[in-house]
Structures are given as C-alpha cells and as structure tokens.
Structure 1
C-alpha cells in the first residue's frame, strides 16, 4: 500500500487542510482548486478616528457564495448568521452594489420594524419603498432585513417573500437568531437558505493587509521554499491579532498591535453586555455572566459541575454554555471516538471550548506581548493557542453549514489517547495533530491510524513542509 507522511507548517493552516485533502483524493491540484478561495470585496469597514470615518477594503470569501445565489434559478431568501461584529452588515452593503435597487431595513429601528406588522407581502414592500424613498430596480432589487431577530413575525414572513415575490432578492441577518427562533412557532423550513459568516481567516487577513503576493504564494501547490518563512511570519502576526474585522481594519491603519487593546476590550465588553439577551431569567443571566468571565481561563477539557471554581450545578453551567454556543461566542467542542465516517459526536464525554476569535482570546488572557517575540507558537500556552487557531480556520471554510470541529479520544482503563482534531475528507476521517514534538511523541496518532481504514495523518508545526513515512507499533505504515 502506498503510504505518505505529511508534515504541515502550522502557519499554513488552511492550505494544509486543502493539501491533506488532495493527497487523499489522489489529485493534489484538482482538489486544491475544489477548495480554492473566491476572493471578494467587503468595503465600508468604518473606523472612527477623531470623528472621521475611513473606508477599508477587506476580501471575504462569502461574497462568492452570494454571487452564486444571486444568479441561481432556485433562489430562496438567505438568512445570514454569525456572531456580532463579524461583518455581516458590511458584507451585504458591499454586495448591494451588484443590484439596480437596494432597500435596507434595520429592525432595531421602530419605524422599520413596524412595517412587518402588515400581513400582506405586497403592502410590506410598498411600505418599505415609501419609507426608504426608493422602489423596484430596472432588473434587480435587493431587500436587506438587518437585525431580524427583533421581529419574530418578520422571520416567519420570509416564506411568503419566497412564495409570492421570488423576483425580489431577500437577505436577512441577525446576531442572536437562535434565541429569536425560539419565539417563531412555524419557522419556514425549506423556504430559506443559510449562510454563515465568521471572523477573517488567514487568507482573508492577507487580503485585508493588501498582500496579494502572499495570497498567490499561499495558493501555490506546493508552496515555494522562499515563501515559507515569510508566510510563517505573517501567520504569526495573524495569530496574535485574530480576525475580527474592526480590529484588523485598525491594525491596517496603524500597524501597531499595542494600540488595539481599547478596541478588543470594547468588543469583549459588548459580548458580556449581551448576556441578558441570552438568558431567560435573572438567575440564568448570573450563571452566563460567570461562565463568560471564566471560560477564557479553561485551557483543557472542562466539566460543567463547579465550572470556573463556582458552586453552580452541572445543569446550570450546561445551559449557560449552550446559550453562549448558540450566540457563537464560546463553542462547545465535543470529542468523537469515530475513526471512520461519519464523525459521531460523543456528548457523554467532556468537551473543550472554542472561542469566536483567537485574537480576542489572546487579549483577554493578556498574552499578546509574550507572543510577539516567539518563533514557534506550537508549544506556547501548552499548544492551546495554535490548536485554537487551527480550529478557527477549519470552521471558517464552512459557510453553508453550522460546522463544528471534533477531537478524537480513546479512553480505556489503562490507556488514554487524544488527537487534537479529526476532519472528514471524502470517505476518510483524517487525524490532525498540532505538535512540535518528534516521532516519539506520536502515540495518539499511531492509535488512531491503527484503527482507521486509511494510511493518512496530518501533523502541523513550524518546520518546513515534508513528506515522511511512519510506522505504528503494530507495523502499519502511514503518511504523516
């Protein structure tokens, strides 16, 4: 059996997953381009600087999906989902340039929200035209309903736009949609498409800092030797800053990480201030408040009971974490024991936590200063930060499903094993380790490979790209 061993540099996280995929499909270039990035432009990232606004341009991959949707013959209203401050409104305002006419309604404004007290779709549209002093475009019209979570009735009415006004392009967005959907008794399932927006990934970050040569090198397979360390330095920079659009825009202006603290703190406080919106009552609000304050300090797998050195019960903490998970601020990442597809989540085992953005996590933990002088992040903070960022990259390439990462565990009486991530590629579950260790530290990968139906594994670290052949203790060769 042909066996390959793949060692990926941790700075090239997204390309690594693409590279691993292509090995498995026996067509490196073909599958790479299956995952190729459709670059798009998001403008109007408005930054306040002494009462002046500066327009930035950041490329977002989701734009390509919107273009495909615009021309689809089976187009349904889109519900754009994602946490607060990831750039949803900015993305749609830029996309609006593709249309002859654009109407934007913000349902946090009472006048806009009142329109949806009307039951007739034709009258709703006429009211919107009148309120916004516009009308149908010559060929195409986009109606954007922002903050739709403020009106459960508006969510319900999306189905009627699809049924009665298919010629109108409808996009709705909101940051707390999962909570609003609890109040919608008959959600229009099957009549709405979904699109998920995340913080900027590494490739989008390179577009934001206008480094097109770096993007070109990142898209090259294999990555040129001369580009490896340059990309690694850029990835290190991205790992420190993260992918929140407002933060990246400020960094583009000032090129100074130290002055970003105020913006990070403002964003983090805004998320904490939203706690009341997640809770059903004051008691639940207190528990969620405690959890969001203490969660950043939980570096390993967690237990709900007594979370964050509290006296809260397992049920209370579980409900709080699930609320934060719905808000996409703190995600619950559960393990799997699956070595072949499908990846089955094991909810009985202890999960670990994944935050919305690695840069924000770094700021909350006050670690950015330490990271600046490091050459290799794989061992920093016991590998937590780089593992977290790999997870964030994997999540970011899934724009049409609510994707969550998994890690693999084997828990037996005398032998426990854990692999950092498991990623499904075609008919294989591929193990991914983010380690700086040598072959003698591959025990968990060996355990996984011995039990799976293929000879492939991925290890990410800061070294040069290599393909090596490894043998498990039982004698099975595999590609690492």
Structure 2
C-alpha cells in the first residue's frame, strides 16, 4: 500500500484557475451573472440536502456551468464562515486540455482529487463540482464506487450531451443520482435576463408574479377552475403582457441561448448557433456519447427535419422524403432527441393510457437554430405568416413540456379536425389550441371547444396573437360546451 501523502487541494495545478474563491472572495464572483434561472432554487435545495448525487444536463450553452457556479456562490454566502466553506468547494472542468497531456495520469488525478477533498470532510461538508463529466472515461463507475463507499464528498456533475448521462445513469447510477435537465431559456427567462430588451425596474418586479401565477395554475386540479383562474387573473397583468407582446418576435428569432444575444452581427449569431448547436453536437458530443460512425448522414437527417417544424409525419414518410432507409431513421431520432436538437410529440388517443401511435410531430428544441441554418433575418421570419403560425405552435409545445405535474402531452387529429395539444395532468385533461393570427373567429374557438369535449377534455385554452375584447370572450363562454379561455401568446408563455 502506498504511503505517499495526499496532496492538498491547492497543490493541484489544474485547479487554481477554476476556484478563485480559494483566494479573494470579494472578487471571486464579479463576472458571474446575477440572473438566476427558474431551476436554481430546486437545484440548490438538492445540492445542500439530497442524499444522492446531483447532475445537471442539457444542450450546449444554456448556462449549466453558470448554475453550478451560482450554487457555489450561494453555498459560501449561506455558510457561517464563508471563507472556510470556500476551501471545501472544488470546481473542475473535465474537458480541461491538461488531462490530455502526454504522460498525464487522469485516473490517478481523479482518485487523488476525491481523496484530498474527502480528507477535509471532518471540518465540514465538502462539495466537488465536476463540469462536462462525460469527457472523463468511465466516469459513472468512479462515481458509483465513491458513492457506494460513502465517501464524504457531495458530487455535483454536469454534461452537455444527455445521452451518456442518462444511459449510464440507468445502468450504473440508478437511485444514486438525481438529474436536472436544463433546456434553453423560457420566454419569461429571456425577458427577465436579456439586458438588450430594456425591461424597466417596475416591469421586472412584476415577473415573479407571472411565475407565481403559473405555479398556481399548474397546481389547480379542477380544470374548470383553471380556466376561470386564467380568465380572471391574467387581466391583472395586462400592462406587462401588452409589453410582452412586443418581445415575442425577438424571442422566436433569437431563442434561448444567452450568449447569442449580445453578438454584434446577424452573421456572427448564425455562425455561433450552427457551430455550437449543430456541428459540435453531432461531430463531438455524439461521437463521444454513441461512438457514432456516420455523423455526416446524421447532420443531413437533422437539417431535413428543420424544414417544417410541427408537421405530422411518420417514419416511413420521413424515410421516403430524405432518401434514407427506415432503420436508419429509427436509429437517428433517439440520438437527436437525446442531445436536445429535436423532440417528438406522439398522437393522442381518447383513452387515459395514451398509447403511442405511428404518427408524430417533430418540434425543435430552440427555433433560433433553424433561423441560423436557414439564414433567416427577423424581418423575413415575421413576414411569413404561415411560418409564424408554425413557430407559435412550436414554442407553445416547448413551454407545455415545462408544466409541473405533467403526465402526458400529445396531439389529436382525425381527417381535417385537429387539437394541437392535449395535456393530461393527473386524472384531468385540458386542450390547448394555437391560433396565432390577426383575427380569431368565434367559429374557430367553438370548434376547438367542441373537439376538446369530444376527446374527453374538461376545458379548452385557445392561444391567440392578440387579446379578444371582453364582449367577445363573454359571447364565447356562453356558447362553448365547456369552459374556454382565450389567452394571448405572450401571456401564455409568461406562465412557464
């Protein structure tokens, strides 16, 4: 057995630059964004109290590293002796090039890092934050070993490619790790955090009210009460969602990747999104995650899906359109979904069990990537009314996925009749129909309500472009066969 003394954490040359809080706390977090995403409170609570390890996964450049560092900042701020706690917090990126240097023993480095951190546990809780964990070979086996040995270190890890995180979690870390899957910024987060939008201090104070309304809405069991809640509570925020309406089109264009917003030119934004969200995901993340051998074909498949977001199709149809065999298509979809480029919404049935049917809709996780690939300007995007309708449906779909307590999300179609979204929350069901057009006709709302009732829904929400006059709303409520709310897109998105 080796008697070599353990190195101190500060003696690891690779760590110094990553852990400025070991030095002057007054300047350690000066570059850290002050805005905290909606997921932060739940993440921080689990970092401090959950017995299991914690992981943060999601697409590139959505702020996973920032979330980890904000947790570190809060851990230090909450400690009775912040300076002492700071020395028991270690952050390191597993994609540091130093790990690839000739002769460098990465396994020995990792083992010594954990042992040196654990040696400080008698002084208080030790936290080890490991960013881009998927870059470290056999990472899940190391974490399983240290967790099972009850090593006195709290492990918090992150990864850009969700494929290795989830696949290997199921195989080796089941019950040992809790994952927070972080997606691009929501509409409300985009507005609250984007300095270019000029949100006034008074308006900014109103944003938490929208979030609270959304949480209340999500907790309503009786969907009839839910629609009443929407109809009565949203008008209280009329001042802010009138302003929010002007933010919808910039959000659909710029998307939820914050680093893009401040780039100086349209071309710079397009190149950044294409390189980070297409090229690097397919040619780096998937090569690491799935040992993928034909990335060029996968890229071609993905680019083919960008043409018509939200269009209903099936595997045979996509195979024929793209000139690829069905078995290849079947293997490609899970890869793109795992790395958060696209996701599929399956057809709903009239039963609560909601079995998956052959048809599906493909939605984009973030529309800004499509704009970048298609080289669209915001003016071109807005001028295409058909495209804007598809974009509105896509962004509603993305936000509905965030609904707390969501059991099932699907769509329904029969001949020319369709309900965009059927949402199952526990034992209750609600329909959501998107009508993003200059004028919403009574017959469109009433048809949506009738189809919703036929499909077993207890209420129907129609997402519109503009608010309807009060007299039109009252007329529709009186004529509809079930409770109906007509909610402008800006106000609807603010709830999530």
Residue 432 of structure 2 is aligned to residue 432 of structure 1: yes
Return the match for 1:463 from 434, 447, 466.
466
* 1:414-449 per-position Cα deviation (integer Å, ceiling 9, x unaligned): x45321122233431211111033122243442222
Mapped to 1, the partners of 2:38 and 2:122 lie a distance apart of 26
Cα gap change, 1:368 to 1:156, in 2 (>3 Å): same
Instruction: Report Cα offsets for 1:40-69 as digits up to 9, x if no partner.
Output: xxxxxxxxxxxxx97644331121012211
Give the aligned CA root-mean-square deviation in angstroms: 3.6
Are the aligned partners of 1:322 and 1:332 in contact in 2 as well (CA < 8 Å)? Answer: no
Q: Secondary structure of 2:391's partner?
A: helix
Aligned equivalents of 2:290, 2:297: Cα separation in 1 = 9
Where do 5+ consecutive residues of structure 1 fail to align? Answer: 1-52
Closer/same/farther in 2, CA of residues 170 and 338 from structure 1, 3 Å limit: farther
More helix by share: 2
Distance in 1, matches of 2:170 and 2:183, equals: 28
Number of corresponding residues? 403
> Which of 286, 298, 307 matches 1:297?
307
The separation in 1 between residues aligned to 2:203 and 2:132, in whole angstroms, is 36
Report the Cα distance in structure 2 between the residues aligned to 1:115 and 1:94, rounded to whole angstroms: 30
CA contact (8 A) 2:460 2:482 kept: no
Task: Report what 1:407 is aligned to.
Answer: 410
After TM superposition, the structure 1 = structure 2 runs for residues 251-290 of structure 1, keeping only pairs within 5 Å, are: 260-267=269-276, 268-274=278-284, 276-277=287-288, 280=291, 282=293, 284-290=294-300
Counterpart residue number, 2:143: 158
Which SS does the other structure have where 1:409 is aligned? strand
Matches of 2:304 and 2:122, distance apart in 1: 51
Q: Confirm whether residue 61 of structure 1 aligns to residue 38 of structure 2.
A: yes
CA–CA distance in structure 1, aligned partners of residues 96 and 407 of structure 2: 33
Contact kept? 1:79, 1:171, Cα under 8 Å: yes
Q: 1:225 to 1:152 in 2, by over 3 A?
A: same
Query: Who is 1:107 aligned against?
Result: 94
Whether 1:144 and 2:129 are equivalent positions in the alignment is: yes
CA contact (8 A) 1:395 1:404 kept: no
**Do structure 1's residue 96 and structure 2's residue 72 form an aligned pair?**
yes
Aligned to 1:213: 202
- Give 1:171's aligned residue: 156
Measured in 1, the distance between the counterparts of 2:461 and 2:156 equals 39
Query: How many Å separate the matches in 1 of 2:378 and 2:296?
Result: 32
Match of residue 33 from structure 1: none
Out of 465, 478, 483, the position equivalent to 1:478 is 483
Q: Distance in 1 between matches of 2:70 and 2:308?
A: 38
Structure 2: stretches of 5+ with no match in the other structure: 1-29, 77-84, 211-232, 486-496
Is the 2:449–2:482 contact (alpha carbons within 8 Å) kept by the matching residues of 1? no
SS in 2 for 1:224: helix
Please name the residue that 1:395 is paired with. 401
1:86-137 deviation digits (Å, cap 9, x = unpaired): 211121022111242321233334765988746997x5512568xxxx9559
- Structure number, greater radius of gyration: 2
Larger RCO (alpha carbons 8 Å, 6+ apart): 1
